[in-house]
Every structure is written in C-alpha cells, then in structure tokens.
C-alpha cells in the first residue's frame, strides 16, 4: 500500500471536467471524470500557464516564432501572478521566450515559484546557457526542462548556429539536474533528422520527444503537406525508447492525447507574453493587458471574451 506521505504531494484541481490530482515531482496525473464538480467550485485559473519572460534570444533560428521587438517581464510581477494562479487551481507554469535563461534573476524566479507555490515549473530553452553554475542554481527548482533540438551534427549547426558537441555536453550535465524532453520543430529541413534526434534523446536520457510541426507564424512558413505525410509515416513506424508526444497545433490528424477535449481551451491553457498581455495562446491575436489588474481579474476578462 502506498504511503500517505506520497499523497501529500498531490495537488487537487476541481473543474468542469472532474477532479484532477497532479504530482509535480513525478508528473503523475490522475483525472476522475465521473465526479460532477458544482460550478461554484471550479478552478478560477487555467490548468497550465505559459509565460514568455523575454523576447530576447542570443540565437537566430530561421523559423523562430518569438516576437522581435524588445520586451521583458519583471520576475517579481511574474511571481505575484503565479501565486494567484496557484491559489486558484493552476497546476503548472512553463517559462519561455525568447530565451528565458537570458533573463537576470531567472534561477531565483524558478526557486521562488517552486518553494512558494505548488506549481510544476518547466521551461523551454536552446540549452547553450545551461552552464554548471546555472544548473546548480536550478537544481531542485525545476520539474521539467524542454530543450529545442531540430537535428544533429551539421544540420543542427546550420539551423541553430552553435556547435552540436557543445549542446551534447550541456545535455549530459542537465540529465543529472532535472528531467528533460527534446522539442523538435518538424519542417522540410528537419524531417530527415528524426531518427537521429530520437537516438540522441535515448543516448542522453531524455524523458520525452515532442514533435512540433512547424506553423505558419512569425518567421515560420509552416510544414508542407509532404513533410506532414512523412511525419505521419515516421510516427507510425516509431519504436524508439523515448516517449513520443505531438503538439496539438499542427498535428493534422496525428494522434494526440487530450483528455480535457470537452473543456474550453481557455480553461486548459493561457499565455502571458513578454509585454504582459494575457492571451489564449502564444499564437493568438489580441488578448488582455494585465497592467494594474490582478492576474485573476485579467483572466476573467479574457475568459469572458471567449464566451461571447
């Protein structure tokens, strides 16, 4: 029988889908959807919140989705918003950008969120700034790191403009600090690299391989029909060691796991951009600037817009 101590770590979220128990330490998710939760008890925050801490990045990838104007969020304001979201039933935050590790005070922010809230902390990075020093500061404060890798060897170096061997060195340090996954933007240039990236992931101990078909957004021109057909065939044939996941956006008929499908998107996910505007996703137009409002008041406005 499991120790009661194990259950003390679970965070419980109650909403229109049912009762969701989540353990940020192990990634365990347990959804009891037979329970009808009264509407007055539904969580008042999205299940997951993404925060673009900055638009800045020290790389220049050709397909980058990030906004190019200068903007960055104050970590102290972000911590305040996350405290609110945590208390209102949010389960996790994912920091991104731009490149979040370029933000001064990034490690301190992760530590404060991990210590002062029950949110799972994750971030997406190109990985090249994960020095021994930064990793030692992040140890124990991050539950998942997502490293963007779109190919190996010369392909990687052509797309990212950084030495591939240096990346592998970073991954071999990261594996001792936090679980990590590999994110691959799939397009004409990277589709032929999937086997090699999956093998790399297995070699360096990645927990997940997340496939992100390129979208027509920012500098991205979108995955072609030929690439998507090749991706479908690759997924069908995949029998690698690393767990496979596929982003819903751009999946185009590929199998995705979405147990919360019946729930409006705004209850599942929201995004704060580096200008402090709350949006339905990083790709969504519009949104509501948080400004002097609380996070929850802003979220209610955005959710109200969606319901109209």
Is the CB of 89 or the CB of 127 nearer to ligand SF4? Answer: 127
CA–CA distance, 269 with 50 (Å, rounded to integer): 8
Cα within 13 Å of Cα(272), Cβ side? 29
How many residues would you count in the chain?
A: 308
Least gap, CB of 181 to ligand SF4 (angstroms)? 15
Q: How many CB atoms lie within 10 A of CB 129?
A: 14
Which value, to the nearest 10 degrees, does the dihedral of the CA atoms of residues 232, 222, 280, 112 take?
80
- The closest of 200, 197, 168 to 184, measured between CA atoms, is 197
Distances (CA, A) of 84 to 23, 55, 114: 19, 24, 14
Is the CB of 54 or the CB of 298 nearer to ligand SF4? Answer: 54
- The closest of 50, 211, 43 to 121, measured between CA atoms, is 50
Residue 230 as a binder of ligand SF4 (CB under 6 A): the answer is: no
Using CB under 6 A as the criterion, what x/- string covers residues 10-29 for binding ligand SF4? --------------------
Distances (CA, A) of 185 to 64, 86, 156: 10, 30, 12
Is the CB of 17 or the CB of 66 nearer to ligand SF4? Answer: 66
- Residue with tokens 């990083």, as numbered in its chain: 282
Q: Which of 8, 60, 69, 154 binds ligand SF4 (CB under 6 A)?
A: 60
Is the CB of 126 or the CB of 280 nearer to ligand SF4? Answer: 126
Residue 59 as a binder of ligand SF4 (CB under 6 A): the answer is: yes
Is the CB of 90 or the CB of 274 nearer to ligand SF4? Answer: 274
CA–CA distance, 177 with 135 (Å, rounded to integer): 7
Least gap, CB of 56 to ligand SF4 (angstroms)? 9
Q: Using DSSP, state whether 257 is helix, strand or coil.
A: coil
CA–CA distance, 53 with 73 (Å, rounded to integer): 5
- Residue with tokens 């906004």, as numbered in its chain: 67
Total interface residues for ligand SF4 by CB under 6 A: 11
Span from 21-29, 56-64, 163-171, 269-277 in contact with ligand SF4 (CB under 6 A): 56-64
Using CB under 6 A as the criterion, what x/- string covers residues 131-170 for binding ligand SF4? -----------------x----------------------
Span from 55-63, 107-115, 138-146, 162-170 in contact with ligand SF4 (CB under 6 A): 55-63
Using CB under 6 A as the criterion, what x/- string covers residues 88-107 for binding ligand SF4? ---------xxx--------
Least gap, CB of 58 to ligand SF4 (angstroms)? 7
Is the CB of 117 or the CB of 148 nearer to ligand SF4? Answer: 148
Distances (CA, A) of 82 to 36, 53, 211, 231: 27, 13, 28, 36
Least gap, CB of 57 to ligand SF4 (angstroms)? 3
Is the CB of 127 or the CB of 287 nearer to ligand SF4? Answer: 127
Residue 56 as a binder of ligand SF4 (CB under 6 A): the answer is: no
Interacting residue ranges for ligand SF4, rule: CB under 6 A: 57, 59-61, 64, 66, 97-99, 126, 148
């Amino acid at each position: 029988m499991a120790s009661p101590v194990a259950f003390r770590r679970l965070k419980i979220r109650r909403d229109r889908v049912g009762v969701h128990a989540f353990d940020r330490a192990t990634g365990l998710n347990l959804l009891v959807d037979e329970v009808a939760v009264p509407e007055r008890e539904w969580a008042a925050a999205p299940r997951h919140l993404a925060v673009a801490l900055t638009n800045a990045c020290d790389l220049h990838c050709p397909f980058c989705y990030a906004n190019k104007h200068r903007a960055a969020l104050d970590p102290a304001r972000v911590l305040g918003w996350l405290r609110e979201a945590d208390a209102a039933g949010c389960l996790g935050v994912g920091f991104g950008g731009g490149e979040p590790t370029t933000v001064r005070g990034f490690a301190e922010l992760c530590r404060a969120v991990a210590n002062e809230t029950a949110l799972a902390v994750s971030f997406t990075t190109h990985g090249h700034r994960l020095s021994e020093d930064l990793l030692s500061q992040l140890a124990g404060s991050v539950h998942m790191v997502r490293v963007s890798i779109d190919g190996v060897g010369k392909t990687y170096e052509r797309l990212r403009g950084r030495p591939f061997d240096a990346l592998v060195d970073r991954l071999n340090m990261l594996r001792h600090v936090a679980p990590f996954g590999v994110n691959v933007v799939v397009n004409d240039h990277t589709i032929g690299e999937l086997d090699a990236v999956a093998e790399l992931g297995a070699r360096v101990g990645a927990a997940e391989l997340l496939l992100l078909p390129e979208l027509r957004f920012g500098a991205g021109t979108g995955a072609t029909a030929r690439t998507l057909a090749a991706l479908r065939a690759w997924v069908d044939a995949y029998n690698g060691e690393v767990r496979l996941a596929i982003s819903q956006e751009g999946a185009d008929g590929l199998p995705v796991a979405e147990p919360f499908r019946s729930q409006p998107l705004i209850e599942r996910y929201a995004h704060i951009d580096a200008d402090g505007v709350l949006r339905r996703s990083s790709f969504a137009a519009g949104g509501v600037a948080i400004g002097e409002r609380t996070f929850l008041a802003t979220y209610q406005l955005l959710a109200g817009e969606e319901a109209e």
